[in-house]
Amino acid sequence: MLKSLEYQFTELSHQEDFQYLGRVFGTEVINNTIHVPAHMGTGSIKRVHLSDGLQVVKWDTCLHRPLELIKIKSLPGNDKIFTLTYSFSPVTFY
């Protein structure tokens, strides 16, 4: 089995966390978009600011390796953020 990529984050809506996701893929964020390098898969991950307090992160990817998303607890006193995740995927999350 291929070793999975690991991405630890507090909130994907934070610019620094999204920039770090780009580094996980070994690439830069350009125009709020991460283009998956060919050796890792295909597609892109785009962060869109819809209105004050509302952002969408659209994953349109097919990866050659599993990706572990590890959500780190926010520190007390930080803004409370609600995250809704929906997936159209041929494989299951576990």
Q: Characterize 4-43 residue by residue with b for buried, 16 or more Cβ atoms within 10 angstroms of its Cβ, and e for exposed.
A: ebebebbbbbbeebbebbbeebeeebeeebbbbeeebeee
Residue type, 30: I
* Structural tokens at position 50: 């819809």
* Interacting residues of 9 by C-beta distance below 8 A, sequence separation 6+: 17, 20, 21, 69, 70, 71, 72
Q: Sorting pLDDT into bands at 50, 70 and 90, what band is 11? A: confident
Q: Sorting pLDDT into bands at 50, 70 and 90, what band is 55? A: confident
Stated pTM of the model? 0.79
**Is 70 exceeded by the pLDDT of residue 94?**
no
Using alpha carbons, select from 47, 41, 76 the residue that is nearest to residue 59.
Answer: 47
